[in-house]
Structure 1
Amino acid sequence: MKKVFFKFLARVNKLVLPNYTKKQLDLSKASKVQLALIGWKFFVTKNTLD
């Protein structure tokens, strides 16, 4: 059940949240909000793959 939830959440994130890889965002110049979004996407991806 946990994995299904995180797969759904990953799809929602992909549709709603911005993709900083395509924008070639420099992490040293990222704002706190951008770093929080990157961390959130990493957390969801990590839990989807477990």
Structure 2
Amino acid sequence: GPSGTALIVHALTNNRNRTASEVRYIFSRKGGNLGETGSVSYLFDH
């Protein structure tokens, strides 16, 4: 996420590729990027 912030995004969708593309686009507009699945999960308790 922006400024080195780690985020986990949960989304319900019928099209995983489209949703990932939209999330990636939103992140990139603010200088963030989308990591691999599970790449920041160790930072959170769920």
User: TM range, normalised to the smaller chain?
Assistant: 0.3 to 0.5
Question: TM-score with structure 2 length normalisation?
Answer: 0.38
Larger radius of gyration: 1
Question: TM-score with structure 1 length normalisation?
Answer: 0.35
Structure of higher RCO (CA pairs closer than 8 Å, 6+ residues apart)? 1
